[in-house]
Homo-oligomer: A and B are copies of this chain.
């Protein structure tokens, strides 16, 4: 596989219905600033639900949501399952080994069967880039597909919860410098973040990484490229650290973890380059001592746990919008 980000852009129309409303949520690419802002605003209304004594609204009562996890991820499945339950949907968890569905034909058979059970939504996690799109292309008209992470392609709910977290702390995105640090090449999170931040006219989006962990022509995504923390973090308002996906690395790209941390890890010294009120983010789970020091991850500028809380609100927003029910917080 070449060092390019896969796959290419998707027609916006594929994610929207005839009235321009969200039907699938597969990738940030192609979605308008207006729509992304609507997601953030709906999530804002849902964030109230979690603080009520009854943390539940009946918006999706009687809807059936299948969590289709072709790649195991307890953490992500948990947030989607909990978001669905707080919307009062019925949730079915299915861990599907890709070996069992290695023939595209039998994957489609599985989908057809789940559709025939009058499913309303598939939340799809898959190790292959483009899998969620492939499924959305073939799905019945009554089913919405949400991409919960596909290969190195996209992880759009993660990007939206990150933007939501930033907006809560620093409401005017156009005035911000945001740096994304680490393994950009293998990161579906980074790709989705860059698209979301640029769509929302963020002042400046930077990436900081060694050349071997950057996709070719990464600047075409609309980012400034840096290879040193000292220069890249200078005067930024937001530092987003990425998880070092050791399992996605091929052998020779990296020096030792120790060396990586010295050059691209976020410790107090590196964070000092950023603005004094800069916030620190990480999609989790963090490799402490590899990409981020514990003192920073647990420090006063870290908003990592807020990201987790916000993730529920964003997922509730996207799920309810795709299913045409968004009276959030009124339950």
Contacts and interface: CB of A to CB of B under 8 A. Distances in A.
Contacts of A62: 52-56, 86
Contact of A82 (B81, B90, B285, B294): B90
A178 B116 CA distance: 24
A252 interface: no
Instruction: For chain A, give the interface size range.
Output: 35 or more
B308 A82 contact: no
Contact of A118 (B61, B75, B294, B312): B312
Among A53, A61, A81, A115, find the residue whose CB has the most chain B CB atoms closer than 10 A: A53
Nearest to A297: B109
A62 B54 CA distance: 4
A82 B86 contact: no
A128 B79 CA distance: 28
Given A56-B62, A56-B90, A90-B86, A51 B118 contact: yes
A1 interface: no
Interface in A297-312: 305-306, 308-309, 312
Given A51-B118, A116-B306, 10 more contacts: A54-B61, A55-B64, A55-B118, A56-B62, A62-B86, A75-B113, A112-B308, A113-B285, A113-B305, A116-B305
**Top 8 A-B pairs ranked by shortest CB distance?**
A54-B62, A116-B308, A56-B62, A50-B118, A116-B305, A85-B90, A55-B62, A116-B309
12 contacts: A53-B62, A55-B118, A56-B61, A64-B85, A64-B86, A78-B94, A79-B117, A82-B90, A106-B285, A109-B285, A116-B308, A117-B312
